[in-house]
Structure 1
Amino acid sequence: MTIDSHQHFWKYNPIKHSWIDENMTVIRRDFLPAELKTVFEANGVDGCVAVQADQTLAETDFLLELAHGNDFIKGVVGWADLRSPDIEATLEQYASYKKLKGYRHVVQEEADHNFLLRPDFLRGISKLEQYGAVYDILIFPHQLGATLEFVKKFPHQKFVIDHIAKPYIKDGFYDGWAALMTEVAKQENVYCKISGMITEADYNNWTPDEFQPYMELVLKAFGADRCMYGSDWPVCLVAGTYTQVKDLTTNFISQLSPSEQTAIMGQNAVEFYGL
């Protein structure tokens, strides 16, 4: 089974989605399940995990509603305010939704480089394990140091790094990112999504070769049993097609054993998220 471990839905709102800048006008519109289902049918994808793109409980409810009405949406990564003193009540409320698999915060937008290590946030994270909820880590490379300390604090909590931690591929930034990703990967409860890469390169002039060293590092550090394919649809459309994104991963892993390819293209996501 091929599972896209990372994609988004939204009803476009220029205020709510202000992060979609003038270089991304192609995605300034609605993206809903009917369209993605067609894309999946054309690309041999069986299901997906829908991930939050807005930091509200209304977003979590919106994704759960879409998942309820569409079988191919196998799981949802929602948002809840993990810093809230009432976080346990919120987690309790959502625990009854079978497709709610975990949570994410847009840490990459936080000015505080050590946001992940703030006591109120750590307290919220400490409550996830008892509800069987995973946590998606969305960061930029300059936040990897804090991320390393963060994941070490919770050795039994399941984490996944989104978009290989968004290395600055366009600028050729590699060494610092690679060193810290290698250290993070030593924590065996941390997985990594091979996703979101083409939007970190030059939108109009990237080549598959640019991504090779980044994918090689991730595969070596995390192993085939902790890497998972993700498209970041529809964000990926600002720099390419869904097919191009999927081909980047399938071509890269084509030399691996069939079981390793199966793991990366779906089985790891099934096991990590409990799909």
Structure 2
Amino acid sequence: MDLPIIDTHIHIWDLKKLTYPWLKNMQPIVNQTYLMSDYDKAIGCQKVESMVFVQCECKPEQFQEELQWVQNIADVDKRLQGIIPWAPLHTGNAVEPILQGFKKDPRIKGVRQIIQFEEDPDFCLKPDFIRGVQLLGQYGLHFEITIDPSHFKAVMKLIEKCPDTRFILDHIGNPNIDKQELHPWKELIKNFADSGPHYCKFSNFLGNANLKNWKINDLKPFSEVVIESFGPKRLIWGSDWPPLERAATWQTWLQVAETLTKDLNENDKSLVFRENAIQFYGLNN
């Protein structure tokens, strides 16, 4: 891509340092150490101005170690301008000292605690979790929403109870692109977009498609919905690398994303691939 871009969703992990239980069930191409040097190999000659690291689901008791490790890397690699750690938001007021600590590092922009894999469909409506998300807003941090379509209704109620917290939806809400389940995701995503000034991450299309046999036409109905629902001013591109490697290379996904957004003018493309990231994450580009 000729435009300078920002990657708002990267993961790195060192299997010698921390434990990531979920990786044991993943394909070998993902279940291995990935560092910034590997990211640089993945992007090739593409100019990536800056990146946002998103927590990688290490053991919960290791989340502070993960954060410190990434902070040390970001001290050296100045492109790593945003950090989204995990935090035990479900502990309610007990999480406040942790959030106070986060505010000491301006690179920490928000928190992700994945809702998608919780057995209780109303997990995010528990009073303590709601309180944890409310506290994010008080400390100028946003919440990264990672769900599938079954969680939208509960998340909408969560958002209503947290008017001072900003939200961004990861991976367009993880619809089942493989089975082309456009509904009810389409209606849910439109309602979410209309409910407030929330952003949506243009990412993980391929991870939700047929990993071995995805086609660009499988993705288009879903990209059309999010572009129509959020408009170019509230969409932010991300790679979701290295889980992306299950389906395609980093460079292939960028090319696919370019194709899916080809009807946007150059200014709007710049919003999706760069400007919105600077605005939402408060990056120093």
1:244 match:
252
1:24 match:
27
Deviation at 1:174, TM superposition (A): 1.2
Match of 2:22, SS?
coil
Structure 1 residues 216 and 94 mapped into 2: Cα distance closer, same or farther (>3 Å)?
Answer: same
1:262 match:
270
Deviation at 1:15, TM superposition (A): 8.8
Deviation at 1:63, TM superposition (A): 2.1
1:63 match:
70
- Alignment counterpart, residue 168 of structure 1, candidates 168, 173, 176: 176
The amino acid that maps onto 2:97 is A
- Alignment counterpart, residue 205 of structure 1, candidates 207, 213, 234: 213
Structure 1 residues 20 and 97 mapped into 2: Cα distance closer, same or farther (>3 Å)?
Answer: same
- Alignment counterpart, residue 87 of structure 1, candidates 85, 95, 119: 95
Q: Distance in 2 between matches of 1:13 and 1:211?
A: 36
2:116 match:
108
Q: Distance in 2 between matches of 1:71 and 1:14?
A: 22
Structure 1 residues 259 and 155 mapped into 2: Cα distance closer, same or farther (>3 Å)?
Answer: farther
Match of 1:128, SS?
helix
The amino acid that maps onto 1:168 is N
- Superposed CA RMSD in Å reads 1.7
TM-score (norm 1): 0.95
Deviations 1:233-260 (A, max 9, x none): 0000011111111112111212212111
Q: Distance in 2 between matches of 1:109 and 1:12?
A: 22
Is 1:37 the equivalent of 2:40? yes
Contact 1:40/1:46, CA 8 A, preserved across alignment: no
Deviation at 1:178, TM superposition (A): 0.8
Q: Distance in 1 between matches of 2:139 and 2:121?
A: 28
1:73 match:
80
Deviation at 1:24, TM superposition (A): 1.5
- Alignment counterpart, residue 106 of structure 2, candidates 85, 98, 103: 98
Deviations 1:22-62 (A, max 9, x none): 55211111111122133335222221100001242222222
Match of 1:108, SS?
coil
Match of 2:27, SS?
helix
Structure 1 residues 28 and 13 mapped into 2: Cα distance closer, same or farther (>3 Å)?
Answer: farther
1:47 match:
50
Is 1:193 the equivalent of 2:205? no
The amino acid that maps onto 1:8 is H
* Unaligned stretches of 5+ residues in structure 2: none
Q: Distance in 2 between matches of 1:57 and 1:107?
A: 20
* Unaligned stretches of 5+ residues in structure 1: none
Match of 2:116, SS?
helix
